[in-house]
């Protein structure tokens, strides 16, 4: 028996929206066979209808969001415009009309998840957000359903396709600058409209707050999280990391220390070369997690791009199409996340890699060693390379030290006239 058609409205028709349309077209029959429902795009809101009509004359573009919000036949909206505004208002209005919302918008959820989930429950609706983290990897559903028997102890994620693509290309191609690889990533449709979101680590920080919610059932904002991007990584760091047996990855980390204390942070990290995350390349994403029953598990797949992200959106539409059709349909409603404090980065301990440009003169190492000594930092590896007649590059890997001590040491190193610059500071290992 065929059930009523699922009529959807799209807010936005960029990279992801076009992917959604393509998959709905190419998979139309198989989706109908699986869900007993036909899924049809009823209206697509874009700002410039004229421009899109030329390329897609057959598609139902509308130039006002009201054409979707006020259409009672549209039961589901797919928000793929990205950004905070006007997406937030459109999502709230949709929920108030009882429409289901599917969104790929990590910034929106990263900033407003509690408010939006509250609206959803007030209006007996729901928000589906598989596409907001990890592109095509079903990581949200895995935490909510697949690993739900577990208490999640920790997860480590490569969650930004653009920066992973950049780090990979910088490591494969000698001398490639961050800027030149970034423009490749933009043309492949991985990067955000404002790519500083990718490069600065903000995109990953938003995604981390979402994973923390589904993994630990906690509600944190990005202001609670220490995050850093890849701005200061250069190809020298990547080469030294290799020499020491590491790959540099921009990692999101979540750890539950006890019932009320959590580590959540994002920064470039030297991942041991034999760890599965070290082999995640290009725009691929991965999440490596540890649950108390399952032990270690890793999910891997494309984290950016039109069809991979649209694949996650469609999986949410399938879930909605199944609503009311039998057991399991209410499983998305668990969105009651509690507020907690996140461990301060100053209170954490890790190993560090430092690359310094120094004057190549008598006594310089002694002065640098004294800074480390004063701050109780013990060194594990040290390489000095002559750069020219008067300067050298000093690369250091430390044993585990409290973050506070290292921050003090960096301030003191910068005060030494013999230290020309502290070029890089990268945390080592998955602590």
Q: Which residues bind ligand HSE (CB under 6 A)?
A: 135, 160-162, 190-192, 198, 203, 303-304
**Is residue 207 annotated as part of the catalytic site, yes or no?**
yes
65: nearest Cα among 82, 43, 48, 84: 43
From residue 215, how far is each of 101, 150, 287, 303, 309 by CA, in Å?
Answer: 21, 9, 12, 19, 21
Six token digits for residue 208: 């981390």
Give whichever of 117 and 284 is closer to ligand HSE, judged by the CB atom: 284
Rounded (10°) angle between helices 106-122 and 202-216: 40
Rounded to the nearest whole angstrom, what is the least distance from the CB of residue 303 to ligand HSE in the complex?
5
State the Cα angle at 41 between 40 and 46, rounded to 5°.
Answer: 180
User: Which residue's Cβ has the minimum distance to ligand HSE?
Assistant: 162
Which of 88, 111, 169, 207 is flagged as catalytic?
207
**Cβ atoms of residues 289 and 158 within 8 Å:** no
Q: Rounded distance, CA 121 to CA 98, Å? A: 10
Give whichever of 109 and 396 is closer to ligand HSE, judged by the CB atom: 109
Rounded to the nearest whole angstrom, what is the least distance from the CB of residue 16 to ligand HSE in the complex?
9
Rounded to the nearest whole angstrom, what is the least distance from the CB of residue 105 to ligand HSE in the complex?
9
Rounded to the nearest whole angstrom, what is the least distance from the CB of residue 247 to ligand HSE in the complex?
18
Give whichever of 19 and 135 is closer to ligand HSE, judged by the CB atom: 135
Give whichever of 101 and 131 is closer to ligand HSE, judged by the CB atom: 131
Q: Rounded distance, CA 342 to CA 221, Å? A: 10
Rounded (10°) angle between helices 15-26 and 28-35: 70
**Cβ atoms of residues 82 and 194 within 8 Å:** no
Rounded to the nearest whole angstrom, what is the least distance from the CB of residue 212 to ligand HSE in the complex?
17
For the chain, the residue count is 431
Give whichever of 75 and 157 is closer to ligand HSE, judged by the CB atom: 157
User: Which positions are annotated as active-site residues?
Assistant: 207
């Amino acid at each position: 028996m065929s059930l009523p058609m699922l009529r959807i409205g799209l807010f936005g028709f960029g990279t992801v929206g076009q992917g959604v349309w393509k998959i709905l077209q190419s998979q139309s029959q198989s989706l109908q066979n699986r869900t007993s429902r036909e899924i049809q795009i009823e209206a697509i809101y874009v700002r410039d209808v004229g421009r899109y009509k030329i390329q897609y004359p057959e598609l139902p573009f509308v130039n006002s969001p009201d054409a979707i919000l006020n259409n009672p036949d549209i039961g589901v909206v797919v928000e793929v415009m990205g950004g905070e505004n006007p997406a937030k208002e459109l999502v709230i209005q949709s929920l108030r009309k009882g429409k289901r919302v599917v969104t790929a918008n990590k910034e929106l959820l990263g900033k407003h998840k509690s408010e939006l989930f509250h609206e959803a429950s007030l209006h007996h609706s729901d928000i589906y957000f598989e596409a907001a983290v990890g592109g095509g990897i079903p990581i949200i559903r895995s935490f909510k359903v697949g690993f739900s028997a577990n208490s999640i102890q920790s997860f480590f994620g490569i969650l930004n396709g653009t920066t992973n693509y950049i780090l990979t290309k910088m490591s494969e191609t000698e001398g490639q600058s961050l800027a030149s690889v970034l423009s490749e990533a933009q043309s492949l449709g991985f990067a955000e409209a404002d790519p500083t979101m990718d490069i600065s680590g903000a995109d990953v920080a938003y995604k981390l707050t979402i994973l923390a919610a589904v993994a630990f059932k906690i509600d944190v904002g990005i202001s609670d999280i220490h995050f850093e991007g890849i701005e200061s990584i250069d190809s020298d760091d990547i080469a030294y990391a290799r020499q020491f047996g590491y790959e540099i990855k921009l990692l999101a980390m979540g750890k539950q220390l006890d019932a009320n204390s959590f580590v959540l942070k994002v920064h470039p990290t030297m991942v041991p070369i034999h760890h599965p995350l070290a082999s995640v390349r290009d725009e691929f994403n991965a999440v490596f997690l540890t649950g108390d029953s399952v032990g270690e598990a890793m999910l891997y797949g494309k984290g950016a791009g039109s069809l991979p992200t649209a694949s996650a959106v469609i999986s949410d539409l399938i879930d909605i199409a199944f609503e009311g059709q039998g057991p399991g349909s209410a499983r998305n409603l668990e969105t009651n996340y509690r507020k907690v404090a996140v461990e301060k980065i100053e209170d954490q301990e890790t190993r560090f890699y430092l690359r310094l440009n120094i004057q190549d003169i008598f006594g310089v190492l002694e002065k640098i060693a004294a800074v480390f000594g004063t701050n109780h930092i013990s060194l594990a590896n040290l390489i000095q390379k002559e750069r020219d007649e008067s300067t050298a590059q000093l690369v250091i890997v430390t044993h585990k030290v409290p973050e506070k001590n290292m921050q003090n040491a960096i301030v003191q190193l910068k005060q030494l006239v013999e230290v020309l610059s502290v070029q890089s500071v990268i945390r080592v290992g998955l602590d």
